[in-house]
Structure 1
Amino acid sequence: MGKTNPGNFFEDFTVGQVIEHATPRTITEGDRALYGALYPTRFAIPSSAPFAASVGLSPAPVEELLAFHVAFGKTVPDVSLNAVANLGYAECRFHRPVVPGDTLSTRSEVIGLKQNSNGRTGVVYVRSTATNQRGEVALDWVRWVMVHKRDQDAPAPETVVPDLAKVVDPADLVLPEGLDFSGYDVAAAGEPHRLGDYEVGEKIDHVDGVTLTDAEHMMATRLWQNTAKVHFDVQARPDGRRLVYGGHVISLARALSFNGLANAQLVAAINGGSHAAPAYAGDTIHAWSEVLDTAETSAPGVGALRLRLVATKGRDESMTLRGDSGKYAEGVLLDLDLWALVPR
């Protein structure tokens, strides 16, 4: 038994601790194909090598969220194997496209700790960085996760809550080298809408829905080598249900957003995100988006849309995020704030 890894508990973390995560992961064309089998994604850049080349990206990158899930999965055995729930994200930037053949490795630094008042759990804040085989940063992000304590009587650490930016400044977005939308093919992309066609405050109902199954969400989570017990083991939760990995809901919502945001081709940053409620097999996921901001970029023909992407259990035609109390409305599963690159 001494050779197995039970995972870290809350009292095992210290502020400033750096963790080098195991098992670098090489991305393949098989990952691209399986991602498309799991999620109804149709964005032209990761779907079409000629389209990607026409906007300056060759070879065609995989979906940004595929890279995020792989990089995130590396952190799970060390950070969230004993988690109650992943709570949120901030300051996520995609620094360069990930292409088949790239190998991602991830390291994390603990930047905050806060024991909960019940004394049984605490929140751990980590900043994680994924690099490729050349040592170049592919993406980095902050997340915070609620983790069980091993010993309820263990003393609480000093509370440290990091000060995190509410939004990535558009000037700090990293644009892929060579990206050029000046000859953008709207017919191949699937929609004519450009940056100027979207107004701040506009809401878009993405219409379509996907019903979750245990087989698909467990397959996806294994694909990312995410070993969190709550996604696989019905004995890991008191209710005897497998919790759907929050990233699975993110990818479904992003894929569903194609209908109305087909030209939001590349995710440049995730400003923040919250998993507002758990999701389970049998739930039907719908999505809607709100335009929060627009920005110009230095790349030819490329603009940026700041979007709130919301996933709901069932379709919410009223597109309501919060109730009168200020809490998330019933049925809201995900509230994700992101920057996407679109043609001007």
Structure 2
Amino acid sequence: MPALLPHHLPPGYRSRPATTADIELMYRLIASCEEELDGSVETDLDIVAADLARPGLDPALDTLLVFAPDGELAGRAWVNRRSEVDVHPGHRGLGLGDSLLTWVEARARESGGTRIAQTVPDRDHQGVALLRRHGYVPMVTSWLLELISPTEPVVPEPPAGITVRPFRPGDERAAHQLTEDAFDEWQQRRRSYEEWALLTVERATFAPAVSMLAFAGDQLVGAVLSLDVPESGEGYIERVAVRRDHRNQGIARVLLQHTFRGFHRQGRPVCTLWTHSNTGALSLYEKLGMTIRRSATVHYKDLTTP
């Protein structure tokens, strides 16, 4: 079921699957949605490309684009265990969200899925209401945290036996192992190196100079992986991880303070990161002075019930 039938769409609208040639179009659509909701753009082209390259996702079957009569991209959706649905602000109120969400659920069932999840910003009241109408319920919360540093952050000494340095070429595989081990506690599945790299070290915005690593001897035991997104004017932290047997020693605090200072020296006194309620890390970030800028909730639907 790669496309919606005409009677599911407003007159003149058409649909088809996405291809890699559509990445720029999809980015502009998502950026319009974020700009309308938050006044800023968080998505970049790398994220859109990585979603289209998710392992197990077949763009011909698992993606859908909806075009307006004038050719503008009006909506898009993909599904691969979880899903994303976006409708351009200029094309809302026409039922596109309902149609795309119905398509997502049908495709998930067709591929053998038993449940589907989607993350929606809590301030997107229309999006939340749409999911509720379709029987989705809240599962977990994510928070976008920020630290505003008027002066250069002070970096504490690392714990005894720990050395800290920036990310270097050759650290990729060890960083993948460390971060995936750390996130195994709560994420639904382990990412292959190839998928992980698309979202981190292979992104055009990856910032190795402010991605700090902690070592015990020659063993990597902690990592902060950062992105430099020029359009935002802020530093962004993509991953924070400490090996289980080295937690509660202050390693994460040292790495984060190094990163905050590095961004500050680059003229970026504001740093942000997302954290998930299942990680239990919110209190750590709050102790470092970070505050909640906004939140989003993962909603899910059981597909095994009518």
TM-score range, shorter chain: under 0.3
Please give the TM-score of this superposition, normalised by the length of structure 2: 0.26
Of structures 1 and 2, the larger Rg is shown by 2
Structure whose residues are more often helix by fraction? 2
